């Protein structure tokens, strides 16, 4: 992702790969983003609070923090319990086939396995994952405890309203002055 972003020299943005919890960044950034549903990989409340607190500390006053999580109301993981592969065209050169199988569900925690054929017909690759599907109100609750206040919310990448059947909860929170 960073390699792609750095190919856009017309953007006046400094891209940094890093973990805010492992390095102290105090009021350095105007915008911090957590992508790829990484919010869902924070499985425990303490881990989530620490990550959100680190994001807040890194923001300048008025700085923004953006992230997305799957909307739990769409119950996306229920469709993962199928053996039917999903095929994704990856341009003229290749395509990909993926299957997911849910191993267990314990409250908000979903453990699943994915199998990828990239390109289709090649030796499959396997990945085991665990994600948290917090309730629709939980991101706001955790953000309120960490300090940034939600300024904008969307239900999909096109800017649709949250909670109306969109697959995502996309939040942009703003650090208010101390």
Looking at the domain that runs over 2-71+136-174, which CATH code has it been given? 3.40.50.150
pLDDT at 91 over 70: no
Q: CA neighbours within 13 Å on the CB side: how many for 131?
A: 23
Q: According to the model, what pLDDT value does residue 126 have?
A: 92
Give the 3-state secondary structure of residue 143: helix
Q: Where are the chain's structural domains?
A: 2-71+136-174, 74-132
pLDDT in tens, 4-23: 888 888 887 777 777 776 76
- Are the C-beta atoms of residues 80 and 112 closer than 8 Å to each other? yes
Residue 56's contacts (CB-CB under 8 Å, 6 or more residues apart) are 65, 146, 147, 148, 175
Window from 33-47, 56-70, 108-122 with minimum mean pLDDT: 108-122
With a cut of 70, say whether residue 147 has pLDDT above it: no
* β partners of residue 68: 170
The four Cα atoms 98, 35, 73, 147 give a dihedral, to 10 degrees, of 160
Q: Mean pLDDT for the chain?
A: 82
How many Cβ atoms from other residues are within 10 Å of residue 163's Cβ? 13
Q: Across 56-65, 138-147, 152-161, which has the greatest mean pLDDT?
A: 56-65
The percentage of residues in the chain with a pLDDT greater than 90, rounded to a whole number, is 15
Instruction: Indicate the pLDDT class of residue 110, thresholds 50, 70 and 90.
Output: very high
């Amino acid at each position: 992702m960073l390699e792609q972003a750095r190919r856009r020299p017309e953007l006046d943005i400094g891209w940094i790969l890093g973990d805010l919890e492992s390095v102290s960044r105090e009021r350095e950034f105007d915008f911090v983003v957590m992508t790829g549903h990484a919010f869902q990989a924070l499985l425990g409340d303490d881990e989530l609070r620490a990550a959100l607190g680190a994001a807040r500390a890194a923001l300048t006053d008025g700085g923004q923090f953006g992230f997305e999580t799957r909307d739990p109301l769409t119950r996306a993981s229920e469709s993962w319990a199928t053996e039917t592969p999903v095929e994704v065209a990856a341009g003229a050169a290749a395509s990909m086939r993926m299957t997911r199988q849910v191993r267990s569900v314990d409250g908000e925690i979903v453990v699943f396995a994915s199998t990828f054929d990239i390109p289709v017909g090649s030796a499959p690759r396997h990945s085991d994952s665990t994600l948290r599907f917090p309730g629709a109100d939980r991101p706001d609750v955790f953000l309120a405890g960490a300090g940034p206040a939600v300024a904008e919310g969307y239900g999909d990448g096109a800017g649709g309203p949250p909670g109306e059947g969109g697959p995502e909860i996309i939040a942009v929170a703003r650090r208010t002055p101390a």
